[in-house]
Amino acid sequence: MSFGAAFKLALHSVFADRSAVMTIILAVILYSFFYPAAYRAQVASALPVAVVDLDHTGLSRALVRRAAATQGAQLAAMPASVAEAEQLMRGGTVDAILVIPAGLAHDAARGRAGEVLLLGSGLNLTRAKTTLTAIGEALTATAREAAVNRARFTGAPAPPTVTLVQRPLFNTREGYGSAVVPAVAPIIIHQTLLFGMVLLAGTRREKSGRLLFSPAGFAGVACAFGLLGVANALYYQGWMYWLQDFPVNGGIATAVAVTLVFIAATVMFAMFIGSFFRTRERGIQLLAITTLPMFFLSGFTWPAAPLPLYLVAQLLPTTPGIAALVAVNQMGASLAEVRGSLLHLALLATGYGVLAGWRLCRPAAARARP
């Protein structure tokens, strides 16, 4: 089969199969709307906090009022002891505990360093970070105000005022969705293309009993699926990010270049994996559970994995793909700055291409044998 005939046949197979259309095309569109919807709020706010006031002074009450007035925290309870507050945290009633020890105002009045205890739940690191940051800002503001009042009362010179101005470089909205969704997008593109190709490979095996191509036919099939993958990737990067208001700082040419290499690695990986399945549904049944591990193994949100898992992660196109695409699209990196990830993707595309060709390409005489 020639390159052109294989290219057309592959596209026809996709659009003639309802399941393949839903997997490769419609699923990408649906994910682009429904997945970011969970992060539309972007920044968590009004998270419940328990305050244990053991000082019962004007300073402690001022600290409680300021903490309750912040955007990230909401005063949910004022238990009488730390033990009661810990029970509330274990039960999920509060996300953080602020303990104001006895003698805080006494130490502040004499110029001593006062101490407070701030505890956060580790069940949800994002919520805990938001709450602790908000309370920390309240503590800083209260301490600065107490120092100024003490200076006025004693006649000492007021302490210098230091203002911290934070300017986020890439995630300008400092939202959880803006950080996570651009990293999940390559996983969506990779998995939908992988599932669709494995589905069609199993279908052809069920109908004809074999899955063999000439070198030209192999290239035509790869280019057809590569075209669909590139279209899906550019849909996310060129329209979905803009529609969902996610930060985009990279150039178009750079994004296209990285996308081409990532899709090439994905297609070769999918053709190699698809060569092992002989039934239509078995591939998706076995591969459906790999999506979440792929994301965690990429190293984007999880610490470095043990060496065996790290080595497995290096064999997945999503590992360098996420690193390169996030760096280019969200951080404005150049091709030179992501050359390591690009080389990684190129090596995967070449390696899986050789393996897929070894599995699927046969001479004409071998393909003609029953």
pLDDT tens digits for range 189-225: 999 999 999 999 888 888 877 788 888 999 999 999 9
CA distance 337 to 318: 18
Residues in a beta bridge with 117: 99
Residues in a beta bridge with 48: 74
Are 104 and 60 in contact by the 8 Å Cβ rule? The answer is yes
CA distance 118 to 98: 5
Nearest by Cα to 192 from 22, 362, 6: 22
Angle at 84 (CA atoms; ends 80, 128), nearest 5 degrees:
110
| Residue 143 or 17, more confident | 17
229-277 pLDDT, tens digit each: 999 999 988 888 887 777 788 788 999 999 999 999 999 999 999 988 8
Looking at 118-122, 298-302, 304-308, which range is the least confident one? 118-122
Residues 6+ apart with CB under 8 A from 224: 6, 7, 8, 10, 11, 14
Are 130 and 140 in contact by the 8 Å Cβ rule? The answer is no
Mean pLDDT of 173-190: 80
pTM of the complete model beyond 0.75: no
| Residue 38 or 288, more confident | 288
Question: Where are the chain's structural domains?
Answer: 3-39+173-368, 47-154
- Tell which CATH classification among 3.30.70.890, 3.40.50.2000, 3.40.1710.10, 3.40.50.510 matches the domain 47-154: 3.40.1710.10
**Any idea what DSSP says for residue 239?**
I
302-353 pLDDT, tens digit each: 766 788 888 998 999 999 999 999 889 888 889 999 999 999 999 999 999 9
Q: Name the E strands within 80-164.
A: 96-100, 117-120
CA distance 7 to 79: 69
